[in-house]
């Protein structure tokens, strides 16, 4: 059965690349109207033109989710533009290569601000609007929230926190009719690593090695994760809340290697 989200209003963070962009595209294809946001204003404008400028299906606001003030502006702009909110997808995220014995606290704080605090804050801001629509939240977490990996300490901690936030928020918001879930991808073909941590050469080696660490023998695509997110925000998932869904080619079932 085809998923339809006609006239649903969605806010998707991190929508200029990777899983966020793929999710925005998928939601629009299913009939939703979407507020796009990210730091790349040029990319937002291009997506706006491509996905729905003429039909008024898409709007955008550029800014840094590390800013508490911007998060408030973003929620206000979404409601002002579309009148309500049905779906919040917290897809924005950054990564860093760090260890507990070589920790840069300023970098740690920024990563936690973007990956965890922003998602918590936006969800809190969304609650009054989602309560009116019996809406839903999906947080984009990671296999690193479920399993420990050396060398990406802050990222693992942020995603583990996001998973627990998902469960707690689901319990607290269920009486309001709001569902909250998370998806936990393994390695996915995005620009996350090269934008924040690895050179192109190192990333190519990482992807090749990842074929051996994922039991299905390959990494994932943003579109595969977007399909799961689209299901979770749809009425077909109306009795699902508080769940962290692995979509990782079996990576979370393996031992370290």
Cα(65)–Cα(37) distance, integer angstroms:
9
Give me 100's structure tokens. Answer: 């507990």
Instruction: Give domain status of residue 182, yes or no.
Output: yes
The closest alpha carbon to 251, from 221, 222, 211, belongs to 211
Instruction: Give domain status of residue 257, yes or no.
Output: no
Per-residue confidence at 252, pLDDT binned at 50, 70, 90? very high
Cα(94)–Cα(103) distance, integer angstroms:
16
Three-state DSSP class for residue 215: coil
**Catalytic residue chosen out of the listed positions 108, 155, 203, 245:** 155
- Identify the pLDDT of residue 56: 75
Residue 150 has pLDDT above 60, yes or no: yes
- Identify the pLDDT of residue 44: 95
Instruction: Give domain status of residue 252, yes or no.
Output: no
Mean pLDDT computed over 231-255: 96
Q: How many domains does the chain have?
A: 1
pLDDT, one tens digit per residue, over 128-148 is: 999 999 999 999 999 999 999
245 among known catalytic residues: no
Return the CATH number at 146: 3.40.50.720
Cα(20)–Cα(64) distance, integer angstroms:
15
Mean pLDDT computed over 170-180: 98
In terms of residue numbers, what domain contains 120? 9-245
Residue 33 has pLDDT above 90, yes or no: yes
Instruction: Give domain status of residue 253, yes or no.
Output: no
Give Cα 28 distance to the centre of its chain: 16
Residue 207 has pLDDT above 90, yes or no: no
- Identify the pLDDT of residue 201: 86
The C-alpha R_g of the chain, in whole angstroms, comes to 17
Instruction: Give domain status of residue 3, yes or no.
Output: no
**Lowest mean pLDDT, pick from 56-60, 117-121, 223-227, 245-249:** 56-60
Per-residue confidence at 204, pLDDT binned at 50, 70, 90? confident
pLDDT, one tens digit per residue, over 47-66 is: 999 997 656 799 999 999 99
Instruction: Give domain status of residue 256, yes or no.
Output: no
Q: Which residue has the higher pLDDT, 193 or 243?
A: 243
Cα(145)–Cα(156) distance, integer angstroms:
5
- % the chain with pLDDT above 90: 87
Mean pLDDT computed over 37-50: 94
Q: For all residues of the chain together, what is the average pLDDT?
A: 94
Instruction: Give domain status of residue 255, yes or no.
Output: no
The closest alpha carbon to 39, from 156, 147, 118, belongs to 118
- Identify the pLDDT of residue 61: 98
pLDDT, one tens digit per residue, over 74-130 is: 999 999 999 999 999 999 999 999 999 999 999 999 999 999 999 999 999 999 999
Residue 72 has pLDDT above 60, yes or no: yes
Which range, 40-54, 189-203, 241-255, is most confident?
Answer: 241-255
Instruction: Give domain status of residue 194, yes or no.
Output: yes
Three-state DSSP class for residue 220: strand
- Identify the pLDDT of residue 149: 93
Mean pLDDT computed over 156-178: 98
């Amino acid at each position: 059965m085809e998923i339809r989200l006609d006239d649903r209003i969605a806010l998707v963070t991190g929508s200029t690349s990777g899983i966020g962009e793929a999710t925005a595209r998928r939601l629009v294809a299913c009939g939703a109207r979407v507020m796009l946001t990210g730091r790349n204003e040029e990319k937002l404008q291009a997506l706006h033109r491509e996905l729905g400028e003429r039909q008024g299906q898409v709007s955008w606001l550029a800014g840094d989710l590390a800013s508490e003030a911007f998060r408030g502006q973003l929620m206000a702009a979404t409601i002002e533009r579309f009148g309500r909110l049905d779906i919040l997808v917290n897809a924005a995220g950054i990564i860093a290569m760090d260890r507990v014995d070589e920790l840069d606290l300023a970098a740690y704080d920024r990563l936690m601000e973007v990956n965890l605090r922003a998602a918590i804050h936006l969800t809190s801001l969304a609650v009054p609007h989602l309560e009116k629509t019996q809406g839903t939240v999906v947080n984009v977490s990671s296999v690193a929230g479920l399993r420990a990996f050396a060398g990406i300490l802050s990222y693992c901690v942020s995603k583990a926190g996001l998973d627990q936030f998902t469960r707690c928020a689901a319990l607290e918001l269920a009486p309001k009719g709001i569902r909250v879930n998370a998806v936990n991808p393994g390695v996915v073909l995005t620009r996350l690593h090269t934008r924040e941590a690895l050179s192109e050469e190192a990333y190519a080696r990482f992807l090749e090695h990842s074929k051996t660490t994922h039991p299905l023998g390959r990494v994932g695509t943003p579109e595969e994760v977007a399909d799961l997110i689209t299901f979770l925000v749809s009425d077909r998932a109306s009795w699902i809340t508080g769940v962290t869904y692995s979509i990782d080619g079996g990576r979370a079932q393996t031992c370290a290697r």
